[in-house]
């Protein structure tokens, strides 16, 4: 049986996230499984690298699936390109080892949160970038990221209810860059809890506005209480950039 | 009476172009006049720098309007920002001389046609960039532009019926650049006929594919017959970049 690994780009605006749901909610996984099943005549199960929130985008989401279908890679990709909606593109596909598992084998993931900090929104990226014209102190935001780097209990930075599962994760880096008023917060870590990047971003934005100090972020981390952290940043600004194996 | 000059950015995807029409067609001019009229309590007529086709975008469309309203520029811009739909943004506004006329005073305009020539479309710019994975010879396309530079009768490159008005225009430059598979065809001229940039682009694409030679473009120009030129390129790839006065 073949095991095929894919890299997928999607505009998450109209989807309820990656993962299929019991309800009729529109998800990216559903769309891809449905096209692959039609193509192969099998009931294809796609294993994704993790969930993404409703409205979140991906530049290189990684997934794999098993099939007996012997089509050439190029044929499969053309088929997917033709039958997937215009907001989902399978960018690459390759045969991989039988043991590869897109979720279990993840070493780390890189997310990027984009903020347009110019006076007005830009109509051309308005669906992929969060806009605020409030003055942000990027250096204070950078200082605040320092306490988040490393292995911590991120209970304050997730919408997961306490005591359901371990909320310990490792953040490898957070880089904040700015170019022409577009701020990017890039977060790399070994795994992310429900809404974690968006709540970290919402908290960093409060720091940027001067409503919180970097030392408050240290306190919030220690409190292990969601209510201590900042608000959840809008989904549309978040993109899964890459997955490392 | 004040005369206010505006620079406007819009995503033309869902509009029937800039100019208001007798029908109920949704146009950018209608949207802006309606918000300005509400703001001032006057029947505001906005003078645009020209028509743009249905589905064409603008980075800096220039328009002006006369009003007795004495609001500060900042107040007016905030009002427009709040009440215009999210795909139209008035980027700047200033008081200008009484005689300024956004259409009559145009010296030249710069349009850019964007083509994604990678294997697959990119979901994030799919509404603003035309996608084709056919191999394009950019040097041949550049050679073909040479015969178009200067003052010519562009009857072959417009959907305007012959003998309705003068079809003589001057093209100052056509620059073709490429970056990461995104090709930009930038055209600057003193004025453009109906569909002119899109038909020039459609013709240059035929040259890029080898279906026409640069010397064919010279012949087409001389024929002064629309049927000789290439097809009209999709509206979504075209953006009015700047207007010079």
A91 at interface of B, judged by CB pairs closer than 8 A: yes
Shared domain check, B64 and B139: no
Shared domain check, B149 and B236: yes
Q: What is the largest CA-CA distance in chain B?
A: 58
B10 at interface of A, judged by CB pairs closer than 8 A: yes
Record the tokens describing residue B183, joined without a space: 């090709």
A89 at interface of B, judged by CB pairs closer than 8 A: yes
Q: Is residue A100 part of a domain?
A: no
C-beta atoms of A120 and B11 within 8 A? no
C-beta atoms of A91 and B124 within 8 A? no
Shared domain check, A133 and A63: no
Q: Which of residues 39-58 of B touch A (CB under 8 A)?
A: 57
Q: What is the pLDDT of residues B69-112, one digit of tens each?
A: 999 999 999 999 999 999 999 999 999 999 999 999 999 999 99
Cα A195 to Cα A205: distance, rounded to the nearest angstrom: 15
Cα B15 to Cα B88: distance, rounded to the nearest angstrom: 11
Report the residue from B9, B121, B124 with minimal CB separation from A123: B9
For the cut 80, the answer to whether the pLDDT of residue A164 exceeds it is no
Shared domain check, A62 and A8: yes
Closest CA to A229 of A202, A195, A194: A202
Q: Is residue A101 part of a domain?
A: no
Shared domain check, A226 and A146: yes
- A-B CB pairs within 8 A amount to 45
Q: E strands, B117-230, where? A: 130-131, 150-153, 168-179, 182-189
Shared domain check, B69 and B140: no
**Whole-number pLDDT of residue B165:** 86
Cα A196 to Cα A218: distance, rounded to the nearest angstrom: 16
Q: Is residue A152 part of a domain?
A: yes
CB atoms within 10 A of CB A49: 23
ipTM: 0.92
C-beta atoms of B124 and A89 within 8 A? no
Q: Is residue B239 part of a domain?
A: yes
CATH of the domain at B21: 3.30.70.580
A9 at interface of B, judged by CB pairs closer than 8 A: yes
**Chain B: nearest CA to A14, how far in angstroms?**
13
Q: Is residue B100 part of a domain?
A: no
User: Which listed residue (A43, A53, A95, A216) is catalytic?
Assistant: A53
Q: Is residue A103 part of a domain?
A: no
**Chain B: nearest CA to A160, how far in angstroms?**
30
Query: Which residues fall within 8 angstroms of residue A63, CB to CB, at 6 or more apart?
Result: A5, A6, A8, A29, A32, A46, A47, A48, A49, A102
Shared domain check, B174 and B87: no
C-beta atoms of A128 and B124 within 8 A? yes
Shared domain check, B150 and B89: no
A153 is catalytic: no
**Whole-number pLDDT of residue A122:** 97
Mean local confidence (pLDDT), A53-82: 97
For the cut 80, the answer to whether the pLDDT of residue A82 exceeds it is yes
Cα B153 to Cα B157: distance, rounded to the nearest angstrom: 9
Percent pLDDT > 90 in chain A is 96
C-beta atoms of A128 and B126 within 8 A? no
User: Which listed residue (B11, B30, B43, B53) is catalytic?
Assistant: B53
Domain containing B84 equals 2-95
C-beta atoms of A124 and B88 within 8 A? no
Strand partners, A63: A6, A48
**Whole-number pLDDT of residue B133:** 96
Q: Is residue B101 part of a domain?
A: no
- pLDDT tens across the length of chain B (245 residues): 999 999 999 999 999 999 999 888 899 999 999 999 999 999 999 999 999 999 999 999 999 999 999 999 999 999 999 999 999 999 999 999 999 999 999 999 999 999 999 999 999 999 999 999 999 999 999 999 999 999 999 999 999 988 778 999 999 999 999 999 999 999 999 999 999 999 999 999 999 999 999 999 999 999 999 999 999 999 999 999 999 99
Mutate: best of A10, A84, A93, A123, partner B, most B CBs <10 A:
A123
The domain boundary residue, chosen from B95, B127, B149? B95
Q: What is the pLDDT of residues A89-144, one digit of tens each?
A: 999 999 999 999 999 999 999 999 999 999 999 999 999 999 999 999 999 999 99
Shared domain check, B136 and B63: no
**Whole-number pLDDT of residue B49:** 97
**Chain B: nearest CA to A86, how far in angstroms?**
7
The domain boundary residue, chosen from A36, A70, A95? A95
Q: What is the pLDDT of residues A143-153, one digit of tens each?
A: 999 999 999 99
Q: Is residue B169 part of a domain?
A: yes
C-beta atoms of A124 and B86 within 8 A? no
Chain B residue closest to A77 (CA)? Answer: B120
The domain boundary residue, chosen from A43, A72, A95? A95
CATH of the domain at B212: 3.30.70.660
**Chain B: nearest CA to A74, how far in angstroms?**
11
A13 at interface of B, judged by CB pairs closer than 8 A: no
What is the H or E stretch that residue A125 is in? Answer: none
CB A27 within 8 A of CB A61: no
B111 belongs to an annotated ligand binding site: yes
Shared domain check, A237 and A117: yes
Shared domain check, A179 and A140: yes
Strands A238-244 and B57-67: unpaired
Shared domain check, A112 and A91: no
Number of domains into which chain A is organized? 2
C-beta atoms of A91 and B123 within 8 A? no
A74 at interface of B, judged by CB pairs closer than 8 A: no
Mean local confidence (pLDDT), A177-182: 97
């Amino acid at each position: 049986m073949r095991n095929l690994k894919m890299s997928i780009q999607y505009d998450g605006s109209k989807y309820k996230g990656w993962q299929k749901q019991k309800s009729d909610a529109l998800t990216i996984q559903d769309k891809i499984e449905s096209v692959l099943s039609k193509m192969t005549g099998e009931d294809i199960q796609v294993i994704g690298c993790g969930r993404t929130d409703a409205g979140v985008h991906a530049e290189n989401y990684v997934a794999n699936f098993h099939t007996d279908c012997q089509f050439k890679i190029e044929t499969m990709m053309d088929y997917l390109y033709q039958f997937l909606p215009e907001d989902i593109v399978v960018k690459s596909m390759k045969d991989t080892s039988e043991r590869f598992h897109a979720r279990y084998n993840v070493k780390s993931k890189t997310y990027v949160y984009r903020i347009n900090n110019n006076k007005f929104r830009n109509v051309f990226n308005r669906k992929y970038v969060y806009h605020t014209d409030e003055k942000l102190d990027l250096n204070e935001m950078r200082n605040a990221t320092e306490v988040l780097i490393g292995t911590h209990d991120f209970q304050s930075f997730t919408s997961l209810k306490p005591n359901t599962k371990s909320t310990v994760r490792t953040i490898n880096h957070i880089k904040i860059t700015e170019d022409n008023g577009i701020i990017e917060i890039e977060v790399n870590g070994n795994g992310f809890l429900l809404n974690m990047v968006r709540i970290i971003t919402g908290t960093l934005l409060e720091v940027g506005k001067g409503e919180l100090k970097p030392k408050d972020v240290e306190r919030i981390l220690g409190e292990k209480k969601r209510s201590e952290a900042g608000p959840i940043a809008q989904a549309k600004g978040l993109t899964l950039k890459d997955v490392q194996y």
